[in-house]
Amino acid sequence: MSSNPDLLTPTLSFSWPRIAAIFYGASNMFNVSFDGGTFPLSDVQENPARYVRRLERAKVTPGYATCECVARATPLQLVIRRYGSLLHLAGWPDDGHRHDRNCAFFKDPNASPVTSGGDSTAAIIATPTGLNVKLDAALTLRETATGSGGSSTQTSPRQSRRSASLLAFLQTLWAEPALNQWTGTATWRHWGHCNGQLLAEVGTALINGAQAQTVLHIIRRFDEADRAAINAELDAFVARLATEKGPTRRGLIVGELSDVAPTQYGHALSLRQSARKYYASTSLIEHASRAHAHAWRALGERSARVVALLLVERTPKGHLKVVDLAAMLCSQAFIPCDSIHEVAMANRLIAEHRDFAKPIRMSDTDDMLPDFILRDTRPETHIEVYGMNGVDTYEARKRQKQALRAARRIPAVEWNVDRESLEAVSLPPPAGR
């Protein structure tokens, strides 16, 4: 096979049905119980509308659901949390480490990328009641705003807290419920799984001082039977952005970006989960294509997905204008990636049922951030995907990381994308196999 990086997409020549079969074949099903019944967690996450009445009753009595991932005399309790018109399950506070490692509610207390409440100046802070986020974009404009992010002129001069970009916030949304990780035994992850886990984490969050559900809408997985309800939920969210009187209100919408098409006045964006169009200026699209180049180039690739966080305003005619956006490149199973070559590697690791994580940098404290970490080897193995060979600064950083790994005796797998095919890369076998 050619080592030309432009031809790397077909390296894993799996058809979509075959990939789906591989992932579903690794199924490790867990159940949850509430309202006198036991149900597959995956179905509760993917089809929340089916369980609204049962969850409403359980939220009253006994006030919680339970997770059956680990056999216990007293099952682990789950929070029943309302977000918009639906209810979702979330892990009980400080209980995540007690769940099975393959359970969606498992949380490693040492793995969160978010700053704890000790640093009051951090842009994203984890508090006992949920995330507290300060974005570098204003969600309410009382006067004129500056910059594409729309910083409000109302900002207090005493404000010393740092702010997060839309991309940093989107990455945090993904990392907090461990959507940047794969255990090797989970079922195929699609948007329904992501939506359920995202809402479980963000349900009690504050974003620029506002309750998350008033400013953030995460579109749920499209189902023809629920088309009307899905559209009604989005319409209700958009209606709150009306600005006929008072300040301009903006909203944040998360979905899978499927298309960007030119129009008479700019561009129209489409999200896979709904038919609504989002309108953006040509200058914003040009900026986004540069700022999120890897994600933008992957639009239309069957091997990849692109998740978008849109900052929108409602026009007088009821259209949604995109003020700013972030685009995050992902593998087919929504593992975040930094390049199309990383997408190919992530897809291979998932197809081979490997246990791995994609580290996400949230600060400058990590001096050696690998592209992936294989967690099923002893010791763990770093994976590096080298796609910019020959660039002086890139080569210098590569040598620095190689020296650090050698000093710390960390094994590594290195894929030079312009010198060998992905099929030729040898991965160490999982421990115990």
Q: Give dist(CA 158, CA 162) in Å, integer.
A: 12
Residue 188 near residue 23, CB atoms below 8 Å? yes
Q: Say what the pLDDT of residue 11 is.
A: 33
Task: Give the helix ranges, DSSP H, for 13-80.
Answer: 16-25, 41-46, 52-60
35 half-sphere exposure, CB direction, 13 A CA radius: 12
d(C-alpha 336, C-alpha 307), whole Å? 9
- β-bridge partners, 308: 255, 327
305: phi > 0 → left, psi -120 to 50 → alpha, else beta; which?
A: beta
Cis previous bond, 428, omega within 30: no
The phi and psi torsions of 329 (rounded to 5 degrees) equal -75, 135
Average pLDDT by consecutive 10-residue portion of the chain (433 residues)?
33 35 46 96 90 96 96 93 90 91 85 65 87 94 50 48 94 93 83 91 92 94 84 90 80 97 96 93 97 96 97 92 98 96 97 94 73 96 90 89 94 95 97 75
The single-letter DSSP state of residue 6 is: G
In what helix (H) or strand (E) does residue 156 lie, and over which residues does it extend? none
User: H or E segment at 142?
Assistant: none
By three-state DSSP, how is residue 334 classified? Answer: coil
Rounded Cα distance between 382 and 249, Å, is: 44
Residue 331: other Cβ atoms inside 10 A: 23
Q: How far apart are the first and last CA of the chain?
A: 29
Q: What is the rounded distance in angstroms from the CA atom of residue 269 to the CA atom of residue 121?
A: 35
Enumerate residues 6+ apart whose C-beta is below 8 A from 426.
413
> Within 10 Å of residue 268's Cβ, how many Cβ atoms?
17
pLDDT at 8: 33
Contact call for residues 383 and 415 (beta carbons, < 8 A): yes
Note every long-range contact of 373-377, with CB atoms under 8 Å and residues 24 or more positions apart, other chains counting: 374/349, 374/413, 374/427, 374/428, 376/184, 376/430, 376/431, 377/411, 377/428, 377/429, 377/430, 377/431
pLDDT computed for residue 2 by the predictor:
34
For residues 312 and 253, the answer to whether their CB atoms sit within 8 Å is: yes
* Rounded Cα–Cα distance for residues 203 and 129 (Å): 10
Supply the pLDDT for residue 117.
56
Non-local (6+) Cβ contacts of 416 within 8 A are: 386, 389
Distance CA 2, CA 307 (A): 30
Token digits of residue 193: 């799984």
Distance CA 288, CA 324 (A): 8
Residue 293's closest CA among 157, 167, 120, 134? 167
